[in-house]
Amino acid sequence: MDGKTRVCGLIANPVEHSMSPLMQNFYAERTGVNLAYVPFKVEDEGVGDAVRGAFALNILGLNVTVPHKQRVMEYLADIDEDARAIGAVNTLVRVQDGYKGYNTDGAGLKRALDTAGIGICNENCILIGAGGAAKAAAYVLARGGAKSIFILNRSQEKAGELADYINGLMGRAIASALPLDGYGALPRIRSGYLAVQSTSVGMYPHGDQVVIEDPRFYELVHTGVDIVYTPARTRFMELVEEAGGKAVNGLDMLLYQGIIAYELWNPQVRVDEETICMARQLIEEQLAGARSKHNLILIGFMGAGKTSVGLAYARQYGMPIIDTDQRIEEAAGMAIADIFATQGEDAFRKLETGVLNQLLAHTDHAIISVGGGLPLREENRALLKQLGCVVYLDVSPETVMERIGRDVSDRPMLQSEDVEGRIRELLSYRRPVYVDASHVIVDVNGRKVEEIVGEIHKRAGI
């Protein structure tokens, strides 16, 4: 920081647990902008003073969140059209005589949908909830060209108010209100509905909760979007997927609303895709640190050394070690090769998920070594990050061949006339999955176990 450093910040109450300072300062570092972002705790009665004081202090811009998104609008020099329509402001940008207010929540949702390949135009939509987030979502759906929007809410009166507002805004009857259990009256559409879950129900630590539990509701849904971003896989998402639909969480909405705010303050820069990917991982790590247990999880391909490194780490730091494959064999009463032969790979992967759920409920401060294929399931990757710090032992095909040899009778995934070719094929497919599932990546090629243990302890801190 120096005399030319510009300042941005967040006004909210509470403000202590916000991830905005972490993310906005990261964007400034990555884009080379001389900017510092800080949190400001502001009481309800101090919102006007905070806005006027920020302008007097030459602060470039502010984010605004609960409980000030509506009240702050009284003190602004101008308000963007979308923010005025949504009825809430979450971003202030300095202009000549004060601040102009924007709402990046709606724009963040739209960009998240686009990134996930989810279209809105001509879709029949279901919106769960009728609060502030629902208003932003309804606006995005309506402006995006949705054919219809059915708003389901515990208070049908409140849902009706939102529907009337959206219809008035659009000049046509696009939205209608139903009670929460009124989905049975929805028209049966062969293509199904795009559903947006806009409440906070199901957010960590209440990840087992959901607004609508009835599986018959989810049979109506071809795609479900949950604005909740933690846990990574909410109960709403599980039910959508169990019914055969596609499901996404709210992490990208959170990510993009912050990026859009940053680019409003700094119109001369754009946050590139590499930075976006890094920011997403930062958020995931931050969330995992807030909710996870203090286990060390080792993942990687066959022959990466998960067992030998795990045993050495356990000995050196006095921690118990758990092997998920051993747990499965003990529970099933047969070897993994026999499980594959008699029940198939899909059944085995479900057993792996069961073991992870057991560990999540009962295990802390342990070394956990997992099978090479366990992270392939998206659900398993989410569970791994909740279990603790995930370390990927990165191994080359040559090292794998050197360590396991050509006798692969006990390795069902390597059954092939060309073992080396099979290793290369599997590793090429799995490596990006391992990278996505991990917090820390350690190269194990040509290194002693003790050296690997030392690096893991230094970087993982467990």
Please report, in range form, the residues annotated as the binding site for substrate. Answer: 325, 349, 372, 430
**DSSP states along 286-318:** HHHHHH--SEEEEE-STTS-HHHHHHHHHHHHT
Cα separation, 174 vs 76, whole angstroms: 31
283: Cα within 13 Å, side-chain hemisphere: 25
- Give, in degrees to the nearest 5, the angle at Cα 64 between 274 and 271: 15
Centroid of chain to Cα 400: 33
Of the candidates 199, 211, 210, 178, which has an alpha carbon nearest to the alpha carbon of residue 131?
A: 199
User: Active-site residue 69, yes or no?
Assistant: yes
Cβ 336 vs Cβ 328: under 8 Å = yes
Tokens of 127: 């919106």
Cis peptide before 67 (omega within 30 of 0): yes
Of the candidates 82, 75, 145, 155, which has an alpha carbon nearest to the alpha carbon of residue 113?
A: 145
Helix (H, G, I), strand (E, B) or coil at 12: strand
Tokens of 248: 């996404």
Looking at residue 46, what DSSP letter applies?
G
Cβ 127 vs Cβ 150: under 8 Å = yes
Cα separation, 250 vs 197, whole angstroms: 10
Residue ranges of the alpha helices (H) in 153-200? 156-170
Binding site for ATP: what residues are annotated? 303-308, 411, 447
**Signed CA dihedral, 301, 305, 308, 312: sign only:** negative
Binding site for shikimate: what residues are annotated? 18-20, 65, 90, 105, 229, 257
- Give, in degrees to the nearest 5, the angle at Cα 444 between 439 and 449: 105
Q: Given 4, 41, 69, 458, which residue is catalytic?
A: 69
Cα separation, 246 vs 224, whole angstroms: 6
Cα separation, 218 vs 241, whole angstroms: 9
Other beta carbons within 10 angstroms of residue 106's beta carbon come to 27
Query: Rg of the Cα trace of the chain?
Result: 25
Cβ 387 vs Cβ 361: under 8 Å = no
Q: Which residue in this structure is represented by tokens 């030998």?
A: 308
Cα separation, 437 vs 299, whole angstroms: 9
User: Which residue numbers are catalytic?
Assistant: 69
